[in-house]
Amino acid sequence: MDQAGYDRLFPEQAKLREKAQNEREKLGITIEQVAWITRKLKEHMHDPGTFRYLIYTELGFPQESDAYAVLMEAGLMEIHNHLVDWKQE
């Protein structure tokens, strides 16, 4: 099935996809960037550390940046906590 057929069958998903695509294009996010972040989260899932370790060491943000607050607000701490909890189970 092509994209147009899929969009006709699932119009709500088509709207969400279009919104995400517009946001991604506005921010200039590439598939390579998403893949890099995905790999980093997967690595963190298998060898977890603290939230600070994730953002400052594994993702490489400088400690003097506002990365902690920005990424916490974006939901990364919640994702981190789920990864750590999953590893402990």
How many structural domains comprise the chain?
1
Of 53 and 84, more confident: 53
Residue 88 pLDDT > 70: no
The pTM assigned to this predicted structure is 0.77
**By residue range, what is the domain housing residue 11?**
3-88
From residue 59, alpha-carbon distances to 5, 53, 62, 77 in Å are 39, 9, 9, 13
Mean pLDDT score across all residues of the chain: 91
Q: What is the pLDDT of residue 50?
A: 92
Mean pLDDT value across residues 59-65: 94
